[in-house]
Amino acid sequence: MLIRAGFTDEMLELLRSMKGKVLKSYECTSKEPGGYTDGNLRLNLSRFAIDVSCDLHSLDGEPAGFDEMTWLSCTHADLKSDYRPRVTAEPRQYLVDEVVTGIEIVRDYANHDEGAFVFEMDVALIINTKYHMYSFARGIWFADDISIEVLPKYSAPTRLYPVDELWADDNRAVVVERSTIAL
């Protein structure tokens, strides 16, 4: 059975709708641009906002070591509503003011024990503009932090946890792959 962990089709459509819009800013609890934020952040566009979060989900009945995982999700937000950080911290806003030229999702695929446990997980949301790449990536398997990288255009994110770090500790066969999907 395939477990799909990450953005739903509706969420992917919401993210796709960012193309051609101005990414005005992002808000988070990171004390510096390109740092880490605790669990959630907000992307402020010209006409709407998107709240991105990394949430812990239960995987009932799955093999030991995989009973819980975090993955990314997003929701539409009204620009008039306040960003609410998940933790008690002062939110900060980082100005961007660039047109979104492309959206990419970094996705991991893992097949454990020849199909006994198979999942696809969205690991990062990448927003491309004319001059920059903004990477918002989930942390390690059970943490809800999100790393933020602001990179020059055509760079590669450096804070994506390698998919090959995912191995079963009981020597079962594990096939792991990473792909990038353009929306």
> What sign does the CA torsion over 117, 161, 39, 135 have?
negative
State residue 169's pLDDT score.
58
User: What's the pLDDT at 155?
Assistant: 86
| Residue boundaries of the structural domains of the chain | 2-182
Strands (E), the chain: 2-5, 22-28, 36-38, 40-45, 49-58, 68-77, 92-112, 117-129, 132-138, 145-152, 174-182
pLDDT digits (tens, 9 = 90+) for 1-22: 677 888 999 999 999 999 999 9
Q: Which of 23, 32, 5 has its CA nearest to residue 106?
A: 5
With CA atoms as reference, report the closest residue to 22 among 74, 83, 96. Answer: 96
Q: What is the pLDDT of residue 53?
A: 95
For 161, which DSSP code?
A: P
pLDDT tens by residue, 139-170: 776 678 999 999 999 888 888 876 665 555 56
pLDDT at 26 exceeding the cut of 90:
yes
When pLDDT is averaged across residues 26-44 and rounded to a whole number, the result is 91
Tokens found for residue 141:
């398997």
Q: Which pTM does this prediction carry?
A: 0.89
Segment (H or E) for 12: helix 9-16
